[in-house]
Amino acid sequence: MARKQLKTLTEPMYYILLCLLKPMHGYGIMQRIDEMTDSRVKVGPGTLYALISRFEKEEIVIKISSENSKKTYALTEKGKKILNDEYNRLNQLVSDGAVLGGESDES
């Protein structure tokens, strides 16, 4: 698996973890991602629950409650570190790309 050690995250992975900075249930995560990205990123239930299952196995998220068939999840310290590392990686990419805005016609 290419992302075995989660050195980089897919967009759905990133947004799921971002949402879980505050405990949230699955449907709320899907709604929040839709709001945060102005519908640019869509995470369906199959993708969401497959990733949450993987994140639980890897101790990135934990289930903190299960009421009325709504399971609420939260980030672990490991999950917060992974999210922070990805945030820093993405910022570095943007910083490196700043040369695009500074191109000149000088030869």
pLDDT in tens, the chain (107 residues): 334 556 789 999 999 999 999 999 999 999 999 999 999 999 999 999 999 999 999 999 999 999 888 999 999 999 999 999 999 999 999 999 988 886 555 54
Residues 16/52, Cβ–Cβ less than 8 Å: yes
Residue 107: per-residue pLDDT: 43
Q: Characterise 15 by phi-psi region: left (phi > 0), alpha (psi -120 to 50), beta (else).
A: alpha
C-alpha torsion angle, residues 22, 24, 26, 30 (rounded to 10): -50
Residue 69: per-residue pLDDT: 83
Residue 67: per-residue pLDDT: 85
- The CATH fold assigned to 11-92 is Arc Repressor Mutant, subunit A (1.10.10)
